Amino acid sequence: MKKLTIVVDATSIVNTGGLTHLYEILYHYEEKAHPAIKTIIIIGSTKVLNSLPKKDIFKNKTSFLLNSNKFFRLIYQIFLMDFFLKKNADILFSLSGDFIGRFNPVVGMSQNMLLYERKFWSEIKSFKEKTKLFINFKRQQKCFKKSSGIIFISNYAKKYISNVLSLTEKKASVIHHGISERFVFKNNLKKSLKNYSFEDPFKFIYVSTIHVYKNQWNVIEAIANLRDIGYPVSLTLIGSVIYKPSGKRMISIMKDRDPKNEFINYIEEVEYNKIQNFYSSHDGIIFASSCENMPNILIESMGSGLPVACSEKMPMPEFLGDGGIYFNPTLVESIEQSLINLLSNLPLLEQRTNNLKKLKNFSWRDTSKKTFSFISNINT
């Protein structure tokens, strides 16, 4: 049997999420589990390639065009990549699900639900941002239509996207992301809210990028309202601004509700390998997103063993299950009430134990094995 050369298209990867996924499935790749694979070639920018793990079976491919802006990366993908693939590839794995060249077979991957959740597009006032979303949607639509197989990272995404794009006849698999072991640790919560004060408050943390569907402004309002009625709470927000108007909205609410910077702490950038240090110094998790494919940050935060107040929007319940208290992230009153319920039921030992048990289902080793098994068997 001929051994396969799989090419991984990482030409669109520029952010932490996609890079983390690629790093982890390569780091946990085990040759003995995939006897049909001869070589894995990764195409991407020099910066991305230099950050990936090194193994004899991995080969790298770059171009000066891939080390430039998005326009030149697209030029490479459309006009030059096919020549390389025709000579060197048996199967292409499009990590961002946006390959629109002529080569086949292709396995696409879905990671961005915002392309399909059109109700949020109306909240984006920038013509440039809307145009970018539309173009990326059309690219993914074309990629998935021609793909021999598609990897989804949640059951919700598979059902929703398959319905939108009429992909019911496509070979598809749901393969969850994994979680790093460093996110799993035991936190020692105080047993009662009585043990907290305004000088030593119950510290909530919400980690997420700033965008129209992330609802940080509503969380700030809820925390401020709780303090107004006597609850000793504070909030740490961590995440870079993806959509500038949303960033301005968040900062405006912060200045209005906490003008002296007494209980809201915003940190724009934290290295990925240091996030767990922030979980260990806080008391509760908030996750208020309205649009996710697979909420990695939520799953990582579950490993902290802290109580979780979470958005009720799908697919969050698919992963958190009965391990948290839910709210409508678009309503301040709903967030506020869920936080009151959480604070009234410390330390929620049953939920915390359930969350730690759930994490056994999210292994990067399993993700890597399932991913490359699906790709290598795509034509069988």
CATH of the domain at 223: 3.40.50.2000
- 371 in the same domain as 271: no
d(CA 212, CA 363): 30
- 211 in the same domain as 127: no
d(CA 308, CA 346): 11
Q: Which of 51, 43, 50, 139 is nearest to 89 (CA)?
A: 43
C-alpha torsion sign, points 129, 134, 140, 142: negative
Please give the residue that has the higher pLDDT: either 273 or 236.
236
pLDDT reading at 348 higher than 80 = no
pLDDT band at 216 (very low <50, low <70, confident <90, very high): very high
Please write the tens of the pLDDT for every residue from 87-135: 999 999 999 999 999 999 999 999 889 899 888 888 888 888 889 889 9
- 218 in the same domain as 106: no
- 240 in the same domain as 174: no
* Structural domain of 269: 181-361
Task: Find out whether 153 and 110 touch, Cβ atoms under 8 Å.
Answer: yes
- 159 in the same domain as 106: yes
Say how many domains are in the chain.
Answer: 2
- 229 in the same domain as 111: no
d(CA 321, CA 155): 14
pLDDT reading at 349 higher than 60 = no
Please give the residue that has the higher pLDDT: either 183 or 164.
164
Task: Find out whether 292 and 315 touch, Cβ atoms under 8 Å.
Answer: yes
pTM above 0.95, yes or no: no
- 213 in the same domain as 142: no
- 368 in the same domain as 349: no
**Least reliable range by pLDDT among 45-59, 108-122, 187-201, 355-369:** 187-201
- 203 in the same domain as 160: no
Q: What is the pLDDT of residue 1?
A: 65
Mean pLDDT of the chain: 89
d(CA 309, CA 279): 14
Q: What are phi and psi of 145, to 5 degrees?
A: -65, -35
Which tokens hold the place of 355?
A: 């969350």
What own/partner pairs with CB < 8 Å and gap ≥ 24 does 322-325 have?
Answer: 322/351, 322/354, 323/351, 323/352, 323/354, 323/355, 323/358, 324/285, 324/351, 324/355
% pLDDT > 70, the chain = 93
Q: What is the pLDDT of residue 69?
A: 85
- 202 in the same domain as 114: no
Q: What is the pLDDT of residue 306?
A: 84
- 188 in the same domain as 142: no
- 42 in the same domain as 24: yes
pLDDT reading at 157 higher than 90 = yes
Mean pLDDT computed over 18-24: 86
